[in-house]
C-alpha cells in the first residue's frame, strides 16, 4: 500500500455506488489510503501516473536504477556461489544476468545511466555491473555487430571474477595497499583468466578480457606489460569503462571524483595509457550530451549548459539565471556535477 504514497491518480476513485471518493490527478497521501480502506476499495484497481512535475526521464532513471540494483544483487549472489562451488554457471549468466545488463544500457539518457551505475556501496559487485553496462554502451557507439556486443557484455561483466580469490581484507582496505598487497591484488587478472579458461563453452576472448583489462597501451599495465594492439580490442574497451566507473564511484579508499576531474583524467589517459579512439568516442558522446543539462559548478552556482565550444569542449558556455559564464575563459571554475 505504501508504494502508492506520492503517486498521482490517473482516474477518479469511486465507491460501489458511483460516489467519487477522490478525483483524478490527486496526489495520494496516508489519509487517502485510510479512506480507501474504510470504503473497501481494492488497491489493485487504483491506477496512478507519475507526477506532472516529474519528467518521463525521471521514471526511466527509476527503472534503470532498479535494473542496476537487481543485476548487482544477482552478481553478488552469483560470485558467492562461484566462490563456494568453484564453477562458473555460464549458461545461467548468459540467460539471466546479461539480458539485464543489456536492457539497462538501452536508457537513451546518458547521464541518467551514469547516475544509475555509480557504485555507492557494495563497490565490488556494483562495479562488475557498471563496467558491463558501460562497455555495452561503448560497443554500440563503436558500431560493433550484435553478437560482438553480446560477447563484450559477458566479458565486461565477468572481467573481475578473479577477485573472488583475493582476500576481503585487501579488497575492502580503506587505505593505500602495501606493495605486497598490491602484488596480490594484481593476481586477480591471472586467476580470473584461469577460471574462465576452465569454463566449458566460454569464448576465449572473455578470458582474455579478465587477463588484460589492466594492460595499458604504453606498456605500463599488468600482468604482462602488453602494448597497443597486443591487447585485445574488447580488453581495451573494458579498460576505458573500468577506469571511468572507478573514478565516478565511491570506493573504500576514496570518494567519487567531480565531473571535470574524471573528464580531465580520461583525457590524460587518451595520451598513452588508454586506446585513444575508444576514449575519443566515449568522451565525444558524453560531452555532446551535456547540452541542455543542469550542472553544479565548483563555485557552488547552478546553471545550464547551452553551448559546447568545439575547440575546448570540456569548458562549455553555461547560463546562470540571466548571465552567461564561459568556462573556457573562467579557467578557475569547472563543472563539479551533472544533475539528472
Check pLDDT > 60 for residue 61. Answer: no
**What are the CB-based long-range contacts (under 8 Å, 24+) for 259-264?**
259/295, 259/334, 259/335, 259/336, 259/337, 259/338, 260/298, 260/314, 260/334, 260/335, 260/336, 261/334, 263/287, 263/314, 264/314
Q: In whole angstroms, what is the distance from residue 29 CA to residue 228 CA?
A: 59
Confidence of residue 52 (pLDDT cuts 50, 70, 90): very low
Q: In whole angstroms, what is the distance from residue 291 CA to residue 314 CA?
A: 12
Instruction: Output 175 or 330, whichever has higher pLDDT.
Output: 330
Check pLDDT > 80 for residue 103. Answer: yes
pLDDT at 196: 97
pLDDT digits (tens, 9 = 90+) for 221-239: 999 999 999 999 999 999 9
Residue-wise over 10-41: b if at least 16 C-beta within 10 A, else e? eeebeeeeeeeebeeeeebeeebbeebeeeeb
Query: pTM of the entire structure?
Result: 0.80
Q: In whole angstroms, what is the distance from residue 139 CA to residue 282 CA?
A: 10
pLDDT at 57: 46
Of the listed ranges 10-24, 85-99, 102-116, 177-191, the least confidently predicted one is 10-24
Concatenated DSSP letters of 227-288: BGGGS-HHHHHHHHHHHHHHHHS-BTTBPPPPHHHHHHHHHHHHTTTS-HHHHHHHHHHHHH
Q: What is the mean predicted confidence (pLDDT) over 252-280?
A: 85
pLDDT at 36: 79
Instruction: Output 216 or 55, whichever has higher pLDDT.
Output: 216
Instruction: Output 52 or 10, whichever has higher pLDDT.
Output: 10
pLDDT at 123: 76
- Rounded alpha-carbon distances, angstroms, from residue 300 to 292, 296, 335: 19, 6, 10
Check pLDDT > 70 for residue 316. Answer: yes
Per mean pLDDT, which of 110-124, 266-280, 326-340 is the most reliable? 326-340
pLDDT over 70 percentage in the chain:
89
pLDDT digits (tens, 9 = 90+) for 277-300: 999 999 999 999 999 999 999 999
Check pLDDT > 50 for residue 54. Answer: no
C-alpha angle with apex 82: 186 to 91, nearest 5 degrees?
A: 115
Per the omega criterion (within 30 degrees of 0), is the bond before 223 cis? Answer: yes
Q: What is the mean predicted confidence (pLDDT) over 190-216?
A: 97
Amino acid at each position: 500500500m505504501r508504494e502508492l504514497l506520492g503517486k498521482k491518480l490517473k482516474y477518479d476513485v469511486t465507491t460501489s455506488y458511483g460516489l467519487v471518493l477522490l478525483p483524478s490527478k490527486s496526489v495520494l497521501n496516508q489519509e487517502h489510503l485510510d479512506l480507501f480502506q474504510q470504503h473497501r476499495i481494492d488497491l489493485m484497481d487504483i491506477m496512478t501516473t507519475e507526477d506532472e512535475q516529474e519528467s518521463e526521464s525521471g521514471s526511466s532513471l527509476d527503472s534503470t536504477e532498479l535494473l542496476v540494483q537487481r543485476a548487482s544483487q544477482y552478481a553478488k549472489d552469483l560470485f558467492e556461489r562461484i566462490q563456494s562451488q568453484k564453477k562458473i554457471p555460464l549458461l545461467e549468466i548468459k540467460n539471466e544476468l546479461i539480458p539485464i545488463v543489456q536492457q539497462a544500457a538501452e536508457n537513451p539518457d546518458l547521464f541518467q545511466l551514469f547516475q544509475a551505475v555509480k557504485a555507492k556501496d557494495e563497490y565490488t559487485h556494483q562495479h562488475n555491473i557498471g563496467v558491463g553496462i558501460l562497455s555495452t554502451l561503448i560497443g554500440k557507439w563503436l558500431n560493433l555487430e550484435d553478437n560482438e556486443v553480446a560477447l563484450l557484455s559477458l566479458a565486461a561483466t565477468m572481467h573481475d571474477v578473479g577477485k573472488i580469490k583475493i582476500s576481503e581484507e585487501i579488497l575492502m582496505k580503506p587505505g593505500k595497499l602495501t606493495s605486497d598487497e598490491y602484488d596480490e591484488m594484481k593476481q586477480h587478472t591471472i586467476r580470473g583468466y584461469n577460471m574462465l579458461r576452465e569454463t566449458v563453452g566460454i569464448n576465449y576472448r572473455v578470458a582474455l578480457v579478465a587477463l588484460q583489462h589492466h594492460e595499458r597501451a604504453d606498456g605500463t599495465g599488468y600482468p604482462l606489460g602488453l602494448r597497443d594492439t597486443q591487447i585485445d580490442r574488447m580488453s581495451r574497451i573494458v579498460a576505458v569503462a573500468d577506469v571511468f566507473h572507478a573514478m565516478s564511484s565511491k570506493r573504500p579508499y576514496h570518494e567519487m571524483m567531480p565531473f571535470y576531474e574524471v573528464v580531465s583524467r580520461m583525457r590524460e589517459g587518451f595520451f598513452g595509457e588508454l586506446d585513444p579512439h575508444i576514449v575519443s568516442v566515449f568522451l565525444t558522446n558524453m560531452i555532446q550530451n551535456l547540452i541542455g543539462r543542469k550542472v553544479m559548478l565548483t563555485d557552488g552556482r547552478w546553471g545550464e549548459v547551452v553551448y559546447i565550444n568545439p575547440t575546448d569542449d570540456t569548458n562549455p558556455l553555461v547560463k546562470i539565471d540571466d548571465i552567461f559564464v564561459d568556462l573556457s575563459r573562467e579557467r578557475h571554475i569547472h563543472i563539479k556535477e551533472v544533475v539528472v
